[in-house]
């Protein structure tokens, strides 16, 4: 990644390549599957691409390695500085939501890297999705010396900044220019006079956007799957004589198949079909796909050996699929917190009733059948 250094008046700054090598690409695949994710960081600070000088642009990003790699890849052929904020290895959008990609960190990082001494201009380009953490006018105020002794409230945190004695004489604060949502639009953004077009400002959520998050969701909820499998395995073995291991193995295997199908329906199929399921709430979408799956099972094979068991599986499958789909709200780019709270108020009780009811019926069906 590093290809030498660039000399500045505050010392040498590491220069990074704009070409991703095999390791970078392999790292991206691994991080999407959550393998060793916590270590996928870049050190916060200033980096160079090309041969930047004191008139070059400054692009701000998070210290999540994928964000950083994505930015430098799209700066190919440009001489620029990259200012990496400490977001604890989290991407710009999520970190802005959590507040780590924020006004305070940006102002601190500008000071820590002595950016004022490296560049003559006072413009920094922040990705637009960082705007829920970065307040442009507050950055301006906090980095201009005349306002240096001020306490500014940003969100919940009160941030205090000490005076900076500017070595450059008359100074002004940094102007934050919000760049495009996608790094791929940076060159077009520059050609457009450092302005984003309407298309550049919009977040997309197309088929590929939805599916590339599936592996993370899948691995994230893997433990939940294991717990669910263990529970049905144990419950499958209960009969009038107590617990029978053979029955547990036999029925448990079928149960595992149903549960895995419900899980995949909620976590892969529902996100893939998201815009085509004609209801708005994600939990409702998942419940519908779960019911469809149960119906398909009933039509083409048999969902359980008794009517009671069939009803139990209808309830369990739709509960699981609904719950998994509900958790996709966080991966989507279209949900509001108020909306998610509303759907949870309605659907979490339904999911609990369906899941517990399904489990009770499942046990009951075992007891009734063997009598």
Partner 1 sequence: MQDMVYIKNVVTLQLDQSNCNGCSMCIKVCPRNVFRLIDYKAHIVSRDHCIECGACALNCQSRAITVISGKGCGCATGIIEGYFNGGKSECSCSRC
Instruction: Point out which residues bind partner 1 (CB under 8 A).
Output: 90-91, 93-94, 96-99, 128-129, 131-137, 154-155, 178, 181, 196, 198, 201-203, 205-206, 216-217, 220, 274-275, 280-283, 326-327, 329-330, 332-344
Residues 6 or more apart whose CB falls under 8 angstroms from that of 129 comprise: 92, 93, 96, 181, 203
Between 110 and 176, name the residue whose CB sits nearer to partner 1: 176
Between 135 and 236, name the residue whose CB sits nearer to partner 1: 135
Nearest-approach distance from CB 49 to partner 1, in angstroms: 25
CA count, 13 A, side-chain hemisphere, 353: 5
Q: How is 231-291 classified by DSSP, letter by letter?
A: HHHHHHTEETTEE-HHHHHHHHHHHHHHHHHHHHIIIIIHHHHGGGSS-S-HHHHHHHHHH
Between 83 and 200, name the residue whose CB sits nearer to partner 1: 200
Nearest-approach distance from CB 71 to partner 1, in angstroms: 18
Between 205 and 233, name the residue whose CB sits nearer to partner 1: 205
Nearest-approach distance from CB 105 to partner 1, in angstroms: 14
Residues 6 or more apart whose CB falls under 8 angstroms from that of 213 comprise: 271, 331
Residue 188 CB burial class (10 angstroms; 0-12, 13-18, ≥19): middle
Q: Hey, what's the torsion of the CAs at 274, 275, 279, 284, to 10 degrees?
A: 0
Between 98 and 111, name the residue whose CB sits nearer to partner 1: 98
Residues 6 or more apart whose CB falls under 8 angstroms from that of 60 comprise: 82, 83, 84, 85, 106, 124, 125, 126, 127, 130
Nearest-approach distance from CB 327 to partner 1, in angstroms: 5
Report the alpha-carbon distance of residue 108 to residue 157 in Å, rounded.
Answer: 14
Nearest-approach distance from CB 28 to partner 1, in angstroms: 17
Between 290 and 304, name the residue whose CB sits nearer to partner 1: 290
Q: Give the Cα-Cα-Cα angle 119, 123, 125 (nearest 5 degrees).
A: 115
Within 10 A of 120 (CB to CB), how many other CB atoms are there? 11
Q: What are phi and psi of 340, to 5 degrees?
A: -65, -40
Between 129 and 259, name the residue whose CB sits nearer to partner 1: 129
> Would you state the structure tokens that stand for residue 298, as one six-digit string?
């009933």
Report the alpha-carbon distance of residue 133 to residue 97 in Å, rounded.
Answer: 6
Report the alpha-carbon distance of residue 56 to residue 52 in Å, rounded.
Answer: 5
Say which DSSP state 330 is in.
G
> Would you state the structure tokens that stand for residue 28, as one six-digit string?
């991206």
Between 69 and 343, name the residue whose CB sits nearer to partner 1: 343
Nearest-approach distance from CB 344 to partner 1, in angstroms: 6
Nearest-approach distance from CB 202 to partner 1, in angstroms: 6
Nearest-approach distance from CB 118 to partner 1, in angstroms: 26
Within 10 A of 287 (CB to CB), how many other CB atoms are there? 28
Nearest-approach distance from CB 29 to partner 1, in angstroms: 19
Between 4 and 155, name the residue whose CB sits nearer to partner 1: 155
Q: What are phi and psi of 158, to 5 degrees?
A: -95, 125
What is the biggest distance separating any 2 CA atoms in the chain, rounded to whole angstroms? 92
Nearest-approach distance from CB 300 to partner 1, in angstroms: 31
Between 353 and 367, name the residue whose CB sits nearer to partner 1: 353
């Amino acid at each position: 990644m590093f290809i030498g250094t660039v000399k500045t008046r505050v010392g040498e700054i590491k220069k990074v390549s704009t070409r991703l090598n095999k390791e970078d690409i392999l790292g991206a695949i691994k991080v999407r599957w959550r393998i060793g994710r916590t270590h996928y960081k870049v050190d916060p600070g200033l980096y160079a691409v090309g041969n930047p000088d004191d008139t070059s642009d400054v692009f701000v990003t998070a210290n999540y390695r994928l964000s950083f790699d994505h930015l430098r890849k799209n700066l190919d052929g440009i001489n620029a500085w990259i200012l990496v904020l400490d977001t604890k290895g989290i991407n710009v959008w999520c970190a802005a939501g959590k507040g780590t990609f924020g006004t305070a960190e940006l102002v601190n990082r500008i000071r820590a890297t002595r950016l004022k001494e490296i560049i003559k201009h006072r413009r920094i380009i922040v990705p637009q999705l960082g705007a829920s953490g970065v307040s442009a006018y507050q950055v301006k105020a906090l980095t201009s010396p005349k306002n240096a002794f001020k306490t500014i409230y940003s969100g919940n945190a009160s941030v205090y900044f000490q005076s900076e004695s500017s070595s450059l004489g008359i100074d002004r604060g940094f102007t934050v220019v919000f760049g495009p949502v996608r790094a791929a639009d940076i060159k077009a953004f520059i050609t457009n006079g450092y302005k984003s077009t309407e298309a550049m400002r919009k977040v997309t959520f197309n088929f590929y956007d939805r599916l590339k998050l599936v592996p993370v969701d899948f691995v994230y909820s893997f433990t939940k799957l294991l717990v669910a499998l263990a529970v049905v395995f144990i419950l499958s073995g209960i009969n009038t004589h107590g617990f029978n291991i053979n029955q547990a193995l036999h029925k448990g295997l079928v149960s595992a198949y149903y549960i895995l199908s419900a899980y995949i329906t909620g976590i892969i199929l529902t996100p893939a079909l998201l815009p085509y399921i004609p209801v708005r709430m994600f939990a409702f979408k998942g419940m519908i796909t779960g019911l469809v799956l149960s119906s398909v099972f009933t039509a083409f094979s048999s969902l359980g050996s008794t009517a009671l068991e069939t009803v139990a599986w209808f309830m369990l499958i739709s509960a699981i699929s609904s719950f998994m789909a509900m958790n996709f709200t966080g991966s989507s780019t279209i949900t509001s917190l108020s909306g998610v709270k509303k759907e949870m108020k309605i659907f979490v009780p339904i999911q609990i009733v369906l899941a517990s009811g399904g489990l009770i019926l499942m046990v009951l069906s075992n007891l009734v059948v063997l009598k």
